[in-house]
Amino acid sequence: MFINFSDIPGHQNLFLDYLYEFDNVRRFYPKDFRDSKNYFEHFAKLEKREKPHLASLKQIISKQYNDFNPGPKTIDNINSLVLNNTFAIVTGQQLGIFGGPLYTFYKIITAIELAHLFNEKYDSYHFVPVFWLEGDDHDFDEVRSFNLLDENNEIVKISYDDGITEEINRGSVGNISFNGNINNVTEQLTKILRDNEFKPKIMEMLSGYYKEGTTFKESFKKLIFDLFDEYGLIIFDPSDANIKSILKPIFIKEIEEQKEHSTELVKISAELEEVYHAQVKVRPINLFMSEDDGRYLIEPVENEFRLRGKRKRLSKETIFEQIENTPEKFSPNVLLRPVCQDYIFKTACYIGGPSEISYFAQVIPLYKYFNVDVPIIYPRSSVTIVEKNIQKILEKFNLNYTDFISENETIAETVINNLAEIDLAESFRKATYDVNLIIDELREKL
């Protein structure tokens, strides 16, 4: 069954208009993902775009697979990156424990399927699915927990505890190693996860990858590799020092022209807020710097710079020197990250969810400043998995999935009405009304 997002409460109008009323948002997005003409024009432009670093990119990614044994499809896809007519279908996500939210896998599946579809439809080009490991992110709380249903259909939250009680800047989460508490997480999952034919294999896989001494990034990559390598998915680590070296021009330009960039971002965000909303708060500089095991936003202070939360000041020349000598210390924020992604790859499409599609409306001006091609923003697949026995119950009582967006009383009424040929709910309401009349009459007489 297909359900429109507009039938599901809670979605922002910007996202809904992007899906169903593109003319309303055309001034914020240069390409309509539903218009086939955009694809031909975008691919032709990408093919002509010179990217001198493609040979290096292929070597770097191949080296990132040194501890893995990729299948022939993945190897072919990596090798094809040097070709001018090879385009990436990119998606990405933070490195949530045990894979994070289920939509992480939906993103990957969408990228794989879209690459397959495009390879059949546009035979002059080659498309490869790429997963961007967002290991530079420093939001520990976002990646350490997950929710699942127990045997009583109650939502249970399981969290990894690194033993640090105070609020500190842990730095990039991808580099955080698990302590012995990861075993507690695995044990909790084993107890709560329902018994079925898949459980032993799942637990063997997760406990093998998520164990003491491994990092969030290592464990996550092994899991994704195990599940999707046979489909040719390229798992890409942007925190690689060699990748950061390729990004030096982006980092330097962001520092050099931060006032112009910030002014344009504030302007487009204000325009969005007049009719929709601005997904991301604009910062003066869209760049982080790692120091003393922490990851800090760079902020302008008079004619110098400082790391947010630290008193130490840095001159522009010092920052440029750091970028030149240790580029791995720098990482983009949420608004600059897409530009870095599409500077590195010839990106045909980016697969994003509602929030990502919303913040791309703010990002577009940066693409112009950096002379980077804007990809086609393609919505990820959204799926609700329904077990067979649940589906039978829905069919028995003539219920649709959208019914569950309603109040519980409405669902109960629908079920009652379908239990008999007569409208029991209406009969109950009438009986209640009659009884109340009798009670009122008795009160008057008494």
What is the spatial distance between Cα 32 and Cα 23, in angstroms, rounded to a whole number? 9
How much is the CA Rg of the chain, to the nearest whole Å? Answer: 26
What is the spatial distance between Cα 61 and Cα 372, in angstroms, rounded to a whole number? 21
pTM, 2 dp: 0.90
* Model pLDDT, residue 420: 60
Residues, the chain, total?
446
Q: Closest by alpha carbon to 91, among 72, 105, 74?
A: 105
Q: Closest by alpha carbon to 78, among 62, 64, 63?
A: 62
What is the spatial distance between Cα 205 and Cα 90, in angstroms, rounded to a whole number? 26
What is the spatial distance between Cα 167 and Cα 248, in angstroms, rounded to a whole number? 31
Residue 100 near residue 146 (C-beta atoms within 8 A): yes
Residue 145: HSE in the Cβ half-sphere, 13 Å Cα cutoff: 10
Q: How many CB atoms lie within 10 A of CB 87?
A: 27
Q: Which helix (H) or strand (E) holds 141?
A: helix 140-143
What is the spatial distance between Cα 198 and Cα 389, in angstroms, rounded to a whole number? 17
Q: Retrieve residue 130's tokens.
A: 């790429």
Residue 77 near residue 70 (C-beta atoms within 8 A): no
Q: Closest by alpha carbon to 353, among 114, 11, 7?
A: 11
Average pLDDT per 10 consecutive residues for the chain, totaling 446 residues? 84 96 96 96 97 98 97 98 98 95 96 98 98 90 91 90 80 91 96 91 96 96 98 98 98 97 97 95 96 91 91 93 97 97 98 96 96 98 85 81 71 69 62 54 47
Q: How many CB atoms lie within 10 A of CB 217?
A: 21
